[in-house]
């Protein structure tokens, strides 16, 4: 990418898109295109077609998606499937039609089979059944990967796919029902501290293990891969390290300074038992994360406080 290249970030207001925007700005890119959802509905085929025809971006970061945690994924199953398919179909196809030089598609670690061996290698895709609670979202993201590969095969498009692990960081979603586990815990422990509550109840047993990557680290990886990776298939982006939900809760509790108890509601679902990425492919390409979990949570919590 040249510093003057026209770069479109789809989803620039979200946690991932805003991190990519910050990274590109820091690197001196001066021709970044963005649109708010009120100005461009990415689910609208004609609107996206007209936008690409008028703007003709050179490079595209496809970070726009409808996202959420277990409750949101399981409640809005049709919305998660339909809207994500619409967004990625419109952008990927318009990128081909308008001769975009390179596109980076962002998926999610939930694409892997629920009971896949750990850590998750890229080749485990489509080797087993998905986690039922987020199957519609996962199927949409799998379709995006396969669409990038199909356009590469048929039209020689340089479209690449990356699969981030669980993300957190600046501009995260702290909605009480529709957020992911780490920001949800930050909000709940903060509110419990503010309200002097005796305990915080967490869904499940606390035993599932999850891997977390700070969003600005993801942006660094995406920037690096946009410059250095041109292969079909996908590449995992993560830390290669995980932590149990129980230990995560204790870590967040201590960072926030909450003194109450933690209870686990074992009548509620745990979700996938473990989701650890195998990041050996990413490391072999020359990139590794730099922000460790405790430091990242402190940064995220400060951002949460600043925005309240």
How do the domains of the chain map onto residue ranges? 7-169+212-239+276-291
pLDDT in tens, 42-74: 999 999 999 999 999 999 999 999 877 777 778
Q: So what's the pLDDT on residue 110? A: 86
Q: DSSP letter for 101, please.
A: S
Q: So what's the pLDDT on residue 30? A: 93
| 260 in a known ligand binding site | no
CA distance 106 to 99: 20
pLDDT in tens, 137-152: 999 999 999 999 999 9
Query: Are the CB atoms for 159 and 148 separated by under 8 Å?
Result: yes
| 14 in a known ligand binding site | yes
Task: With CA atoms as reference, report the closest residue to 228 among 272, 283, 191.
Answer: 283
| 180 in a known ligand binding site | yes
Structure tokens given for 152: 């590469």
Query: Are the CB atoms for 56 and 4 separated by under 8 Å?
Result: no
How long a stretch of residues is the chain?
308
- Is residue 28 reached through a cis peptide bond, with omega within 30 degrees of 0 on the bond before it? no
| 175 in a known ligand binding site | no
Residues annotated catalytic, as ranges: 137
| 107 in a known ligand binding site | yes
Residues of the chain with pLDDT under 70: none
Neighbours of 9 (CB within 10 A): 25
Partners of residue 61 on adjacent β-strands: 9, 104
Q: DSSP letter for 67, please.
A: -
What's the fold here for domain 7-169+212-239+276-291?
Answer: Rossmann fold (3.40.50)
| 167 in a known ligand binding site | yes
CA distance 35 to 64: 11
Task: With CA atoms as reference, report the closest residue to 164 among 229, 216, 230, 87.
Answer: 216
pTM for this entry = 0.93
């Amino acid at each position: 990418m040249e510093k003057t290249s026209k770069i479109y970030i789809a989803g620039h207001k979200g946690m991932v898109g805003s991190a990519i925007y910050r990274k590109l700005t820091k690197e001196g890119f001066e021709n970044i295109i963005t649109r708010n959802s009120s100005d461009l509905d990415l689910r609208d085929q004609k609107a996206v077609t007209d936008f690409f025809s008028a703007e003709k971006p050179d490079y595209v970061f496809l970070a726009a998606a409808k996202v959420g945690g277990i409750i949101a994924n399981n409640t809005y199953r049709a919305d998660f499937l339909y809207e994500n398919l619409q967004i990625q179909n419109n952008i990927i196809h318009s990128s081909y039609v308008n001769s975009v030089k390179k596109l980076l598609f962002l998926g999610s670690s939930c694409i892997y089979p629920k009971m896949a061996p750990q850590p998750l290698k890229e080749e485990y895709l489509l080797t087993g059944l998905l986690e039922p609670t987020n199957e519609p979202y996962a199927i949409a993201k799998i379709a995006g990967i396969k669409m990038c590969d199909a356009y590469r095969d048929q039209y020689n498009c340089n479209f690449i796919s990356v699969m981030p692990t669980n993300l957190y960081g600046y501009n995260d979603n702290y909605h009480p029902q529709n957020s992911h586990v780490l920001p949800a815990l930050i909000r709940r422990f903060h509110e419990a501290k503010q309200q002097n509550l005796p305990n915080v109840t967490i869904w499940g047993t606390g035993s599932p293990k999850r891997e977390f990557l700070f969003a600005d680290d993801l942006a660094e990886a995406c920037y690096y891969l946009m410059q250095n990776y041109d292969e079909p298939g996908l590449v995992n982006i993560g830390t290669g390290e995980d932590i149990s939900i129980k230990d995560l809760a204790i870590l967040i509790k201590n960072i926030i300074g909450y003194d109450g108890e933690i209870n686990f509601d074992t009548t509620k679902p745990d979700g996938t038992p473990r989701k650890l990425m195998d990041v050996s492919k990413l490391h072999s390409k020359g990139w590794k994360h730099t922000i460790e979990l405790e430091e990242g949570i402190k940064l995220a919590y400060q951002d949460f406080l600043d925005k309240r």
